[in-house]
Amino acid sequence: MPESTSTLRFWLINTLGWALFCVTSLAMTGAFGGGSSGGTLISVGLGVLLYGISGGVRALALRGRWWRLELGALVLRLALAVLLGAALAQLLLTAVLQPALAMGWVDFGGRSGDFRPVARLLYWLNTVLMLGLWTALWAGLHGVRSARQAELARLRAEAERSALERDALRARLNPHFMFNALNNLRALILEDPERARDMVTRLSRTLRQALAHNRSEQVMLVEELAVVDDYLAIEAIHFEQRLQVSQHIDADAMQAQLPAMALQLLVENAIKHGIGSRPGGGEVQIRATLDNAVLRLQVDNPLGTGNEPSHGHGVGLAYLRTQLGTCGRFTLQPVGDRMQALLEIPQ
């Protein structure tokens, strides 16, 4: 519910509630106190004061974000607000009532007002009871509404996470890659059965790796390179001489950890937006180093014909950024006539 709507609803209910208090108090004063003007001033004045103070308690609680506190701290603050609010209401009411009685503006039907300490304590306790009941009712309703909103937010977050994971699966299983691989496999079955069997094996391993890992799982670089090698072997059948690959991998980086399929996504992006969009193809360069406990992965590809520097930021790379979170850095930018993807992952 929008905050403006919630505030409007509170003030409507607050007005009705304390108006009912005034009417009830006036009726009881008329029935048991003879309907004196002093009793009328107390009934109306106390209702108006508690109306304003109850609104002030709500504003203080919302501004101070009391609902983010633990239950004990929340109850303590609300109780203190009620005790002080009731004391303020009695203080202001007395400040108006005593001068009015002294000047003869109001009276109690021939009786004098009782302002002894014991009487004042009883008045204060009665005010605490009324303001406390109203505050408890409002706080309970607000707490229920906050809990419902938190549950809705949790459900939305789960739905967004499910959508992200669905998009991630779609990113891992690129439909164009699958379509090309199956078409090439069909052509190879008769032309080169041995190569076709090798392609089936590599495709099977690629699919198994794509489906086997969840989005938070970490793998070693040596395992990820095996996936990339299978992927590149399949793409080499499709692109033939248009695809050249060079790899420069430091030996001490082989055991470094990275999100599953991260490097494969960078290579796929380089082929799709670089090699695939150039009639003459080009070279994809893969580098991996380990410097100061930071794994640096760099994938370069020639800029695609007519591509803008912002191209290539699709589902797969967006998913890669969510995998990294705050535990890594990813950049994609043109450097000269090549596009450079750089991934840095602290170990």
pLDDT in tens, 162-171: 666 655 555 5
CA 176 to CA 126: how far, in whole Å?
Answer: 76
CA 276 to CA 30: how far, in whole Å?
Answer: 91
Residue 316 has what pLDDT? Answer: 63
CA 164 to CA 170: how far, in whole Å?
Answer: 10
Residue 309 has what pLDDT? Answer: 43
Residue 129 has what pLDDT? Answer: 93
Residue 312 has what pLDDT? Answer: 42
In the predicted model, is pLDDT for residue 48 greater than 60? yes
**Model-level pTM?**
0.48
- 186 backbone dihedrals φ, ψ, rounded to 5°: -60, -40
List the 294-302 sheet strands across, edge first: 243-249, 282-291, 294-302, 338-346, 329-335
Q: What is the mean pLDDT of residues 267-280?
A: 85
Distances 129 to 85, 114, 123, 171, 316 between C-alpha atoms, Å? 11, 20, 10, 62, 61
C-beta separation of 97 from 106 below 8 A: yes
Kindly indicate the confidence band of residue 314, based on its pLDDT and cuts at 50, 70 and 90. low
CA 3 to CA 62: how far, in whole Å?
Answer: 11
In the predicted model, is pLDDT for residue 214 greater than 70? no
C-beta separation of 134 from 54 below 8 A: yes
Residue 50 has what pLDDT? Answer: 94
pLDDT digits (tens, 9 = 90+) for 96-149: 998 888 888 888 766 777 778 888 899 999 999 999 999 998 888 888 888 888
